[in-house]
Amino acid sequence: MASVIWMSVFCLLCVEVVLCLFSMLPLPHTVWRSISKVLRMSAVESSLTFIVRFLVVGLAIGVFDSIQSIQGLQEQISVTDPNDLYSAMSLSSRKQRIFRAERNLYLAGFCFALIFIIRRLFQLAAQNADLVDEIKVASGRTRPPTASQLSSSVPAAISGTETAPRTNETDQELTEVAPIENETESSSGHEDGVPRQRRGFSQGPDS
């Protein structure tokens, strides 16, 4: 019965190693998102919690039993007489039992540690999937302009840059034309005034 139990522990260790390697693979985001959704289902989560607790308790009992067996066998070996043939035969058998007990201790210890490691790895993978979804949602809200939007905005920007200097040039032309008109008006008024004064001087003595 004990051999069947420890064989099942060895099979459990192989499964945990496979799960640990699977959790470290660079899988696509969709795979981890689907896995996290399945693991967060209420039925699956409750059943996994029950299985993990059962395994933790069973492995803890196995570790404690292996330690007790190793200590008891070592005490028996310490009191055996190496000169006695029967004691020598029992000594070899006890050493074999110590070897099996240490093997069982290693199996149970590794299984016990890998349970928590695998649980943490899957938790980190689920959190990573959630963060990737949040980043996609945030980037969708502040999405950069597409190629069509950029192509439609470039001609408008070019036309705006072309019309702006033209308006500035027309304003400068108008400001330059205004003083010229003022100068022409003042010059024409001055020329008109001089003949009038001369006419007045010329007509004065005759009248």
Q: DSSP states of 136-160 as a string?
A: HHHHHHTPPP-HHHHHHHHHHHHHH
Radius of gyration of the chain (CA): 49
* Confidence (pTM): 0.58
**For the residues 53-82, what does the mean pLDDT come to?**
84
pLDDT in the model for residue 163: 47
Between 154 and 61, where is the model more confident?
Answer: 61
pLDDT of residue 88: 62
Q: Which residue type sits at 40?
A: R
**pLDDT class for 176, splitting at 50, 70, 90?**
low
Q: How many angstroms separate the CA atoms of 60 and 68, rounded?
A: 12
Where exactly are the structural domains of the chain?
A: 64-127
Share of the chain above pLDDT 90, in %: 18
Evaluate if residue 110 carries a pLDDT over 90: yes
Quote the CA–CA distance of 56 and 58 in Å, as a whole number: 6
